Structure 1
Amino acid sequence: MANELGDIPNPGDSTVTEFATYEEYLDSQITPLDMYYLEDKELARQLVELGYRGSGEPLKREEFESRKKAAENFRLSKRLQTKVLSSQGKDLSKFPFLQALAEREEANRSGKLTSIIFIRTNNAKGQEISGYIDYAHRLKTENFEPYFNRQKILMPRPSDMSFYNWETQTCTSNATPNFQVLADNENGLLFKNKRDRKIINVDPKEAKPGDNTTRVSISTSEYVQVVIYDHLTRRKT
């Protein structure tokens, strides 16, 4: 976008990436001959900034710093894009649930997909527990590599979207950055996607869980039951 400072160049432009500070940028345009006659670096810098020394129209301090910031943001975004997935390089062919999570990891990290994981299992005390997990939120707040390395087992927690301990009858529900929990309604437990406001109905008796949502049951010996609800968010254009 253009403004009074001129067009913003390619974030990789060496004009801003080569120099750590604006002063270094000015110094690069000062010649030994300039210093011979002026004998004052600050004066030489002022002359470069005013356009009396150096080659071409010099960048003003505000423009240099703006482009420097844009270049840094670009570098960080590229670094995030190339971040290695927690599941990358893992052979999960014998573990259907982990394989299903691996297949959805990139899409949930990037926001293309928001998956809700329903798990019913037994905890360390032998108590039956169940819960609904916001996979995208857990990926952002927890290191998943131990799960994909099979060093830890993914379990529902009281801090997840919904949690129930069948023995103690402890029941909790929590909103996440992606979903709002609608627990008190005649249709049973519902989740509303905060981005497109679509409702996900997790009642197994419902033929369809909702618009842009699919339900997949995972056959695995590690849990009593696992179901994944994949919600595809459609961006408005």
Structure 2
Amino acid sequence: MEYGTLARFHVSLTKFKTYQEYLDSKVTPEDLFYLKSRELARKLVELGHKGTVLSREEFEERKAAAQAAETATSSAFSNRSRPVTLASAGKELKDNFLKALAEREEANRSGKMTSVIFIRDHNTLGQEVSGYIDYAHRLKTQDFEPYFSGKKRFMPGRSDLCYYNWKTQVSTSNSSLNFEVIYGDPNGLLFKSKRDKKILNVDPLSGPGEDTSRTFLRSDRYVHVVFYDHNIRTI
């Protein structure tokens, strides 16, 4: 999904206060006439009888991400002249993964770098999941204090660049503020930088791409971690 289309989709979500309102938007007067029950009409929509709809979990997750992105965008201009505030500052980081995040935080916040992070591990239900995360995008839309404080695990989700649950076989992909997801290329999965139009290649048997470095990180907290750091050249 192109970012412009994704942005319009997110904006349409923010106008709904609740998941019920989102379902109601797909219920027609004809549905209510024949079914005689708004609850039944909502249930039919939720079950997919009126076309593809988001689950409650997907709705809440994407709405929250959209609201956070709107807040970040609206404050971007006013914050431009201010020093970059680092969530990792002053934290005692004993884990090498958190140290790697901290080392890249300032560059990703300031726009000097856009890092894509691949993580494979198990979620809170014990299901194996994996995904590619736009770190700079997450920094703009999430509070990272809980991550650097060790209160919350940094894991891929359905709103990230790519996500796959190996148990349920749920798969999602979303272009982000910094990258476009490219499928169907002979080289496999690719990410195209929206800043300089260069390609980031995640195939371990190929080079990662121009101005991009690949770092495999051994971690006690995750099964598999890879950092792809794309440096943005300034003229």
- Fold conserved between structures, TM > 0.5: yes
* RMSD, aligned CA: 1.7
Tell me the amino acid that sits aligned with residue 124 of structure 1.
Answer: T
In the superposition, the TM-score normalised over structure 1's length comes to: 0.65
Report the Cα offset of residue 217 of structure 1.
1.0
User: 2:136 matched to which residue of 1?
Assistant: 136
Report the Cα offset of residue 159 of structure 1.
0.4
User: 1:192 matched to which residue of 2?
Assistant: 192
SS across alignment from 1:130? strand
Is there any run of 5+ residues in structure 1 with no aligned partner, and where? 1-72
The answer to whether 1:172 aligns with 2:172 is yes
In the superposition, the TM-score normalised over structure 2's length comes to: 0.65
Is there any run of 5+ residues in structure 2 with no aligned partner, and where? 1-75
Describe the shift of the 1:74–1:195 C-alpha distance in structure 2 as closer, same or farther (beyond 3 A).
Answer: closer
Tell me the amino acid that sits aligned with residue 228 of structure 1.
Answer: F
Tell me the amino acid that sits aligned with residue 233 of structure 2.
Answer: R
The answer to whether 1:159 aligns with 2:159 is yes
SS across alignment from 1:187? coil
The answer to whether 1:87 aligns with 2:88 is yes
User: 1:234 matched to which residue of 2?
Assistant: 233
User: 1:102 matched to which residue of 2?
Assistant: 102
User: 2:40 matched to which residue of 1?
Assistant: none
User: 1:216 matched to which residue of 2?
Assistant: 215
Number of aligned residue pairs:
160
Give distance in 2, aligned partners of 1:194 and 1:176.
9
Give distance in 1, aligned partners of 2:208 and 2:202.
6
Give distance in 2, aligned partners of 1:226 and 1:88.
23
Give distance in 2, aligned partners of 1:90 and 1:127.
30
Give distance in 2, aligned partners of 1:107 and 1:134.
13
Report the Cα offset of residue 125 of structure 1.
1.1
Cα deviation code 1:201-226 (max 9, x no counterpart): 001111x2000000011111111100
Report the Cα offset of residue 169 of structure 1.
1.2
Give distance in 1, aligned partners of 2:124 and 2:79.
41
Report the Cα offset of residue 84 of structure 1.
2.8
Report the Cα offset of residue 234 of structure 1.
1.4
Describe the shift of the 1:186–1:149 C-alpha distance in structure 2 as closer, same or farther (beyond 3 A).
Answer: same
User: 2:201 matched to which residue of 1?
Assistant: 201
Report the Cα offset of residue 75 of structure 1.
8.0
User: 2:9 matched to which residue of 1?
Assistant: none
Describe the shift of the 1:224–1:190 C-alpha distance in structure 2 as closer, same or farther (beyond 3 A).
Answer: same
User: 1:183 matched to which residue of 2?
Assistant: 183
SS across alignment from 2:192? strand
Describe the shift of the 1:75–1:153 C-alpha distance in structure 2 as closer, same or farther (beyond 3 A).
Answer: closer
The percentage of counterpart residues that share the same residue type is 57
Describe the shift of the 1:75–1:227 C-alpha distance in structure 2 as closer, same or farther (beyond 3 A).
Answer: closer
User: 2:148 matched to which residue of 1?
Assistant: 148
Report the Cα offset of residue 184 of structure 1.
2.0
SS across alignment from 2:90? coil
Query: Of the two structures, which has the highest relative contact order with CA contacts closer than 8 Å and spacing of 6 or more?
Result: 2
SS across alignment from 1:106? helix
Report the Cα offset of residue 74 of structure 1.
10
Matches within 5 A, 1:18-167: 77-78=80-81, 80-81=82-83, 83-92=84-93, 94-167=94-167
Give distance in 1, aligned partners of 2:197 and 2:78.
33
| Structure label with greater radius of gyration | 1
SS across alignment from 1:126? coil
SS across alignment from 2:146? helix
